[in-house]
Structure 1
Amino acid sequence: MARAKNKPRKPKKPNPTPKVKQIEAALTKPVDPLMELKDVLTVDMVKKYICPTANDTEIGLFLTIAKSYKLNPFKREIYLVIYDGKNGREVSVQVGYEVYLKRASRIPAYAGFKAWTEPKDAKIPVKACVKVFRKDWKEPLEHEVDFDEFVKMRWDKEARRLVPTKFWKKMPKSMIKKVVISQAFRQAFPDEMGGLPYIQEEIHPKENIKDAEATVTPAETHVKMPERTDKSVKPKPEAKKPDPPKEPAKPVQPAVKYVSPGQIETLKGLCVAKNLDPDEIAHSYFGANSVKTLPANKAGMFMNEVSKIK
């Protein structure tokens, strides 16, 4: 009787060394991308991938906000927007609407919200309303915003009038509900969301919209005079009128560029975290009547002064 062939034995795996176990644990451990951003996100990276037109000062403000609130620009959680406003070049730091929903879901006291528009059957709403519930409150926070205050408009050349932009025309109810929910969350959870930048739908448009009435320049009138028959007699030249005296040029005062609404909210949030009055800081350190009249180039200095206060 033939003997069965012995099957080759599989080699035993060597017991992992402590160093190997440490590496395997590090690879299987969930990585927090927000923590990595503190070391990875740099000025050069923002210029290359996020906002090539931003300067170092604007990027510095963006990085400060992104790292302070642990917002990842590569997940579309925070944006750096540069645009031409009424006072020239302006910068705006904005966050995505989903950031508010994610932050709210992590708060133990959060108990949901209910949002709607009025009138309910209207295609274009008049206002949006919301109720935000907290487990430690008997009554919910109620908030509402008017549609006309936030709808974004553009100039239609063919219709020669202002019309809503693409998304505000396509889904007006969804857009205005984003505004009311974001504002209500900041009010209901000031410790967790106070100071978060505005969402894009909250920012009022700064575009230079052309006037509804076009400016018409009257054409010059040319009158053809008949030729003289007697060319020997030359017409007398008209006496030259003296030029009117020139008024001395008045010195032009440069327009002061104040902090944007998004920067104001950020500065207020930093002060709230330390129980400080932002208007008092603006007045005491920079001579401004309030944080709203703080020059834009002082925003970084404002944040530095607040960070020094313990």
Structure 2
Amino acid sequence: MGQIVKYVANDGVEVRLTPQTVAAYVATGNAKADPADVVRFMATCRARGLNPLAGDCYMTVYQGASGKSVSTVVSKDYFVRTATQDPAFDGMRAGIVVMGKDGQLSYREGCICGRKTERLVGGWAEVLVRGRSVPSRAEVSLEEYDQHRSLWKTKPATMIRKVALVQALREAFPAKFGGVYDRDEMPVEMPEEPAAVSESAAAAAEATDEALESDVEPDDVESF
């Protein structure tokens, strides 16, 4: 039987995950995850206190020209909320990079860009951590991340600033954010984010897990 992982998520809810639950309700993409990938996903959820059944995160499995990639995807709010709760967090700044008619680049806080007088080319962010003399900084190119759909069409400055901020937060707190990504860092071909599991589906998942738990040895259940 598959391994059962039990833990209390950041929202205070007890979560029970099995490979069967992840495959049925959480995984998305154009390829099938290997059993080892699913176990790593469950371990990441447990370590980060994420509840995938409530929509905190999801697993993507994407088969592209360069091979298969498996990622744990969370929202920007998770990055910001978790970082600001860390005692070492000491502030952050973020903005956009624009090019004027003279060809000069300008680094600007916020997301205001003159569409007729300037060209948006990227985003930047800095995160300050107590005890470090140099802030963690990220600069990202709009051309590299623009997905040409959804909010990228109507709010490109907001979106590229968000990508830069997420990357700066990951560099500032690698132990917290290593191995997890924001949806807008992923390839264009990635599927849209799945909705949170419905109450009926969650109940079905819990019933399945309870049945599995009755058939496994104690050593197969990890509780935290």
Q: Would the alpha carbon gap of residues 196 and 90 (structure 1) be closer, same or farther in structure 2, given more than 3 Å must change?
A: closer
Q: Is this contact kept in 1: 2:63–2:69, CA < 8 A?
A: yes
Partner of 2:144: 149
Distance 2:138 2:23 in 1: 38
Which one-letter code corresponds to 1:121 in the other structure? C
Q: Whose Rg is larger? A: 1
1 CA distance for matches of 2:67 and 2:137? 37
What secondary structure, in the 3-state scheme, does the structure 2 residue paired with 1:165 have? coil
- Which among 86, 90, 93 is matched to residue 72 of structure 2? 93
User: Which ranges in structure 2 are unaligned for 5 or more consecutive residues?
Assistant: 1-7, 99-111, 191-224
Contact in 2 for aligned 1:128/1:180 (Cα 8 Å): yes
Residues 72, 179 of structure 2: 8 Å contact kept: no
- Match of residue 121 from structure 2: 126
1:179 aligns with 2:155: no
Corresponding residue for residue 174 of structure 2? 190
Give the TM-score of the pair, scaled to structure 2.
0.61
Aligned match of 1:43: 19
What SS does the aligned partner of 2:170 have? Answer: helix
- 1:108: which partner in 2? 87
How far off its partner does 1:184 sit?
Answer: 0.7
2: CA distance, partners of 1:87 / 1:144: 25
Instruction: Sort the Cα spacing of 1:34 and 1:70 in 2 relative to 1 into closer, same or farther, 3 A.
Output: farther
TM-score, length-scaled by structure 1: 0.46
Match of 1:244 in 2: none
Indicate how the Cα distance of structure 1 residues 100 and 31 shifts in structure 2: closer, same or farther if over 3 A, else same.
Answer: closer
* Cα RMSD (Å): 2.9
Residue 34 of structure 1 and its aligned partner are, at CA, apart by: 5.8
**Number of residue pairs matched?**
164
Bigger strand fraction: 2
| Identity fraction in percent | 27
SS of the residue 1:145 aligns to: strand
Give the Cα separation in 2 of the matches to 1:181 and 1:71: 20
Letter of the structure 2 residue corresponding to residue 145 of structure 1 = V
Residues 65-76 of structure 1: pairs in structure 2 closer than 5 A: 65-76=44-55
CA–CA distance in 2 between the matches of 1:87 and 1:142?
A: 28
C-alpha separation in 1, matches of 2:41 and 2:166: 20
Cα distance in structure 2, aligned partners of 1:165 and 1:88:
24
Distance in 1, Cα, partners of 2:123 & 2:70: 28
Runs of 4+ in 1 over 6 A off after TM superposition: none
Structure 1 regions of 5+ residues with no counterpart? 1-29, 153-163, 208-310
CA distance in 1, matches of 2:158, 2:114: 13
Q: Is residue 9–residue 49 contact of structure 2 (8 Å, CA) maintained in 1? A: no
For 1:197 and 1:76, how far apart are their aligned partners in 2?
A: 14
**1:203 counterpart = 2:195:** no
Pairing of 1:1-310 with structure 2 (within 5 A): 33=11, 36-37=14-15, 40-51=16-27, 54=33, 56-86=35-65, 90-119=69-98, 120-123=112-115, 125-138=120-133, 140-152=135-147, 164-193=148-177, 195-206=178-189
Structure-2 separation of matches of 1:106 and 1:100: 10
